[in-house]
Structure 1
Amino acid sequence: MSVSKNHSPLYFPALDGVRGWMALGVLVAHVHLAWFPGAMVLMELFFVISGFLITSIVWRGVQGGAGVDLLVFWQRRLQRLMPALVCVVALCSVVAWTVVPDFGVVARDALQTLLYYSNFTKLYNYIYPGPFAQSWSLAVEEQFYLLWPVLFFAFYKGHLRRWQAASVLVALALACMAWRYHLIAQGAPWSRLYYALDTRMDAFVVGGLLALWYPRLSAWSQGRWAHGLLSLAACAFLVLVLWGTPKELAYFYWQQTAAVLTAALLVLLLASPRVGMFQWLCSLPVSKFLGRRCYSLYLWHWPVIWILLMLRPWPEADKPWLLALVLPLTVLLSMGSYRWCERPFMRQRRALAQAAQAPALALAPGVA
């Protein structure tokens, strides 16, 4: 294996690629969960990647003395996320209006999605998903985007050094784990643990810790033994994806923590200057193609599935035909929204970043 000569600290193609394949994995699971029951473990990797990339941005501002411009940060996040989301919600709501008798359910789901609080509606007594049920993870991430830069603004104002900021993040991750165990002891349902930010925050925090120490960890990851250990950790994460039990309450005892830690090591492996098998696979042209469109893939896939399910029943024997219909349709729709909704606003974000003299990094949020 070789060390990349064109490695950039601002962009990690393999992270884009792995998100593209994960988006397809979630699509397959949502067509028929029995085909991929561990797909929900992938959420830990999505959240770790988000924490890593967002922290890389805000910490660079803190270190450079520019601080954290909260309004600019939030504006750039909305410019990245909202256009495609509005497009999907609007078009799918119009189609849903023609196929469901009670449009009020669709309208409520659309409003909750656009206001980024749909995860709160799923914490208790959640039975059947609406047309935008996948938006719960977008809500969790947007709530993270709202709070995270405020924390680093406090770090900047307090003149905290790297190790001091890392100590705060370690304490935050441990507090999240302790709170999760407390909720389990109090008899909280699975949905309360799965859909809430306070019980999933440790994944973002671990990604943030990885970003804080990435310059040193990047150098370490290039060693032969380090690369081998990271590759083993990546395999361990895949084992959890294949044989984990994320639909059971027991998942939150230890499997989630193991998934978060191994996901962080996988992120380090994919972001390492040393090119290995995992990084090569996730940097193939098809991987990067899917990765650049993973946000749109995620936005479209469940509304497409939901509408088709509303049109007619799909028994288990017909699920392969459903997948054969959903997959190309979702890819085509995502290509359109990426070209006409995402890219124009991404160009505006770059202009805003250049005006603010901040690094522009086009990020896609996590999916589930």
Structure 2
Amino acid sequence: MRRSTAVPSGAAAPDKGHRFRPDIEGLRALAVAAVLINHAGLTFLPGGFAGVDVFFVVSGFVITTQLLLELEDRGRIDLPRFYARRAKRLLPAAGLVLLVTTVAAWLGVSRVQWSAIAQDVIGSALYVVNWVLANRSVDYMAEDVAPSPVQHFWSLAVEEQFYFIWPPVILGLAWLGSRVLASRGRRATPTASRGFLALGLVVVIVVPSLAWAAYMTSERPSEAFFVTTTRLWELGLGALVALGASQWRRLPPWAAQVLGGLGLVVVVAGLLLQGEETPWPFPGALVPTLGTAAVIVAGFAATTSWASALLGRRTLVWVGGLSYSLYLWHWPVLQFGTWRWGDLSAAQGLGLVVLSFVPAWLSFRLVENPIRRSPAIAASPRLALSLGLNCTLVAVVAGLVLQHAVSTSRSTSADPGAAVEIAPRDLKGTVAAGVGVDGPPLFDSITPDPVDAVLDSPELYAQGCAVEVYDTGVKSCDSGDPAGRTSVTVVGDSKIAQWMPAIDAIAEANGWRVRLYTKGGCTFTDTMTLVEGDPFEECREWGEEVFRRISSPGDVPDVLITSGLRKGAVDEDGEETLEGLVEGYVGYWKPLTEAGTKVIAISDTPSPSAEVAPNAYECVAEHLDDDPGETCSWDLAEMSSNVAMRDAAARVDGTFIDMNPLVCPEQTCRAVLRNVLTYRQGSHVTATFVRLLAPALASELVPAVKAAKRRRG
């Protein structure tokens, strides 16, 4: 998923002296152009997503300047009027975009995506969608959720949260500063008050947020990109620039010219040289934010510098003024194109970005300006707040309606009792016969409904048993028969976790004590694997700790059950190979086998074909009237992940259980089999299907465990 950005709002506010700053509008234009180019798919500007960081600094500067002027001119801040200005400026246009996007989603995308889009629309309307996206970014069960058409609202949410807390913080710091200065016998002059505010801002917001950004970027990078707490320092940096306005005017013109030029070069260099691989927001965001701050500072003393002249050109000022509307519209327009044509080429992306100027300009002229310039609305904060809140309410209702449409559109063929049971005798033959002309119907209803496919997962995820992909902590969960005399340890990634509904049922029926260790994307191997092309250090660390625990004297299990989707691992020569994966399995399995553990590997389940992908359940939802059992099917091919587990099991006298003859009878995988929706996400099968196959798995698993228990005594 591309790093999504959003453009803050509001015209450039005047600094002390009410001087219009065209260079700030130019900064807006530069930032929004970078974002649009990046989102269009043009590769020459890999750091274009950093445009949002430019806007964070600009917004912090603009809002703080406005608040300081009011505080120093009137001795107070009219909070209702401040929030009313934000409401009439931001909410009508945002509400319109959210409403149009919701309708487009209802008309243009599969109903299986409606629920996630509805949640995002509601979160965007309430300006908390950045937290929604942060939670989703680390949710392994949300791995196949399509890019949201409103995910660009995440940074608007960050800004709105800043706007909500910053005025009261300024008032509190101003009050505290006046008391401190009075206690020292000093008068609260504007310079002294600003100095105290700057100190308070650094202590309360900038330093804590920057430190938290450094920690989160290192430990939880996906969340770090979205959450407010890692971004406040950027807005705080803009606020510090506003607080130091009187000092910046004293800069020598030559110094200001150098500073402005250098700042602009730094911003542009960051857009060109940084990219998706750059740790963000720390330290990556320091480049565009410090560069932006330098340009704004220089503009106080060098209004005729080449940087100011370049940024103040009429075209850039016009684009800067349109930037809020332009950004609101460009990302949904790109997503509408994706829904229509699939993955977009760079040319298509650029064309859609250019096309987004049309709704942006219309929205600006017909919605934003009339509301912003209305004398009646300007004279009544209550009316402005009411207008803004009602626009928000419309967007929330639109999201709720789309969410309701999910339940009302569920397939009438879905029937929780319609799954065809499999008798425990002659299991493989029974399943094979089930797809023949003499067997039960292949498809006459679907359980679960495709809309609920993602929810049809093992309970272990809701119980918090799974470790997220980039976490290193080790969790364990116990199940089965607590008093059982046979100890079974289950270790691996989501491919073993998907079999837990069956393993738990088998364990309870046979008196086994089960302990589960599972981590997203992490196969139980002592060699290095890769994640997104990079060394999966977190997996290696997690696996070492799990192995230490289960190989310790007194904790060695009777049976180890595992599975994995890996196709290779890094061997001794640093190459990712199948043999490296086999050796990695053996590295952990052999010591356990020598200690008396029976190793059992369960086959990896195949991925849907390109014709059925990205998700088999979406294919089913789109072909309910076209026999999805046949339309959404693909041929079973040999899988290197299973070759590796089979070979490794043979080397340690273990057992490999191949369930794929049952998952894909007669070498054909079907998204609907025996009235059951087989797949939920990617190559993961549904919990309902796993429970249906439990007797078949038991027929292989129970004898192997009993034999192992007898050998161990």
* TM-score > 0.5 by shorter chain: yes
Q: Which of residues 255, 266, 272 is equivalent to 1:236? A: 266
Q: Closer, same or farther in 2 for the Cα pair 1:264/1:216, shift >3 Å?
A: same
Of the three residues 259, 275, 284, the one matched with 2:288 is: 259
Question: Given the alignment, which residue of 262, 282, 299 partners 2:328?
Answer: 299
Would you say the 8 A contact 2:62–2:242 is kept in 1? yes
Residue by residue over 1:135-158, the C-alpha shift from the partner in whole angstroms, topping out at 9 and shown as x without a partner, is 001101100100110111213333
Matched, 1:44 2:53: yes
- 2:355 aligned residue: 329
Matching of residues 136-285 of structure 1 within 5 Å: 136-160=154-178, 161-171=193-203, 172-184=205-217, 187-188=219-220, 190-220=221-251, 223-245=253-275, 247-248=276-277, 250-270=279-299, 272=301, 274-285=303-314
The answer as to 2:110 corresponding to 1:76 is: no
CA 336–253 in structure 1, closer or farther in 2 if over 3 Å, else same: closer
**Paired-residue identity, %:** 26
Assess if the C-alpha contact under 8 Å between 2:260 and 2:296 holds in 1.
Answer: no
Higher strand share: 2
Query: Match for residue 361 of structure 1?
Result: none
Following the alignment from structure 1 to structure 2, what is the Cα–Cα distance between the partners of residues 254 and 65? 39
- Stretch of structure 1 that moved more, 269-278 or 113-122: 269-278
Query: Which one-letter code corresponds to 1:285 in the other structure?
Result: R
The 1:162–1:182 alpha-carbon spacing in structure 2 relative to 1, beyond 3 Å, is same
* Counterpart position of 1:30: 39
- Distance verdict in 2 for CA 1:277–1:152, change over 3 Å: same
Runs of 4+ aligned structure 1 residues displaced above 6 Å come to: 353-356
Q: Distance in 1 between matches of 2:381 and 2:301?
A: 30
**CA positional deviation for 1:258:** 3.7
Q: CA deviation at 1:355?
A: 9.2
Q: Larger relative contact order (C-alpha < 8 A, sep ≥ 6)?
A: 1
Contact 2:47–2:270, Cα closer than 8 Å, also in 1: yes
**Cα deviations across residues 198-219 of structure 1 (Å, max 9, x unaligned)?**
1011111111111011122034
Count of residues in correspondence between the two structures? 343
CA–CA distance in structure 1, aligned partners of residues 299 and 357 of structure 2: 25
CA contact (8 A) 1:48 1:207 kept: yes
* Aligned residue number for residue 344 of structure 1: 370
Contact 2:38 2:46 (C-alpha < 8 Å) held by counterparts: yes
Whole-angstrom CA distance in 1 between matches of 2:263 and 2:318 = 26
Q: How far does the alpha carbon of each residue in 1:303-356 deviate from its partner, in whole angstroms, 9 at most, with x for none?
A: 0000110111235xx3213312x1332111111000011101211489737999
Task: Give unmatched runs, 5+ long, in structure 1.
Answer: 1-6, 357-368
Q: 1:90 matched to which residue of 2?
A: 99
Distance in structure 1 (CA, Å) of the matches to 2:75 and 2:374:
21
Q: Which of 124, 135, 145 matches 2:153? A: 135
Q: Distance in 2 between matches of 1:31 and 1:146?
A: 32
Counterpart of 2:223 in 1: which secondary structure? helix
Aligned partner (choices 105, 124, 127) of residue 116 of structure 1: 127
Q: Which amino acid aligns with 2:212?
A: W
Flag the 1:287–1:258 CA change in 2: closer, same or farther, 3 A.
closer
CA distance in 2, matches of 1:45, 1:241: 11
Comparing 27-36 and 162-171, the one that deviates more = 27-36
**Structure 1 residues 253, 57: closer, same or farther in 2, change over 3 A?**
closer
| 1:226–1:170 CA distance, 2 compared to 1 (3 A) | same
TM-align CA RMSD: 2.4
- Go from structure 1 to structure 2 and tell me whether the alpha carbon gap of 1:62 and 1:283 turns closer, same or farther (over 3 Å shift): same
**TM-score (normalizing by structure 2):** 0.46
Which shifted more, 292-301 or 14-23? 14-23
CA distance in 2, matches of 1:334, 1:259: 26
Q: Displacement, 1:253?
A: 4.2
Displacement of 1:82 in angstroms is 0.4
Q: Secondary structure at the match of 2:231?
A: helix
2:117 is matched with which residue: 106, 109, 120? 106
Give, in whole Å, the separation in 1 of the partners of 2:103 and 2:95.
12
TM-score by length of 1: 0.86
> What secondary structure, in the 3-state scheme, does the structure 2 residue paired with 1:299 have?
helix
> 2:38 and 2:210 mapped to 1: Cα distance?
27
Structure 2 vs 1, CA of residues 339 and 272 (structure 1 numbering), >3 Å: closer, same or farther? farther
Distance, in Å, in 2 between the alignment partners of 1:149 and 1:350 is 25
Secondary structure, in 3 states, of the residue corresponding to 1:98? helix
Q: Please state which structure has a larger fraction of its residues in helix.
A: 1
Give the aligned partner of residue 360 of structure 1. none
Alignment deviations for residues 250-279 of structure 1 (CA, whole Å, 9 cap, x no partner): 344433234322221022234555222222
Deviations 1:152-211 (A, max 9, x none): 1213333541111111112231121222233345x21x2211111110111111111110
- Separation (CA, whole Å) in 2 of partners of 1:266 and 1:232: 8
Bigger Cα Rg = 2
Distance 1:269 1:339, change over 3 A: same
**Which one is further off, 196-205 or 156-165?**
156-165
CA contact (8 A) 2:209 2:229 kept: yes
Deviations 1:221-254 (A, max 9, x none): x511331133113212221221123x34634443
Stretches of structure 2 lacking an aligned partner (at least 5 in a row):
1-15, 138-142, 179-192, 383-713
Q: Supply the distance in 1 between the matched residues of 2:375 and 2:58 (Cα, whole angstroms).
A: 20
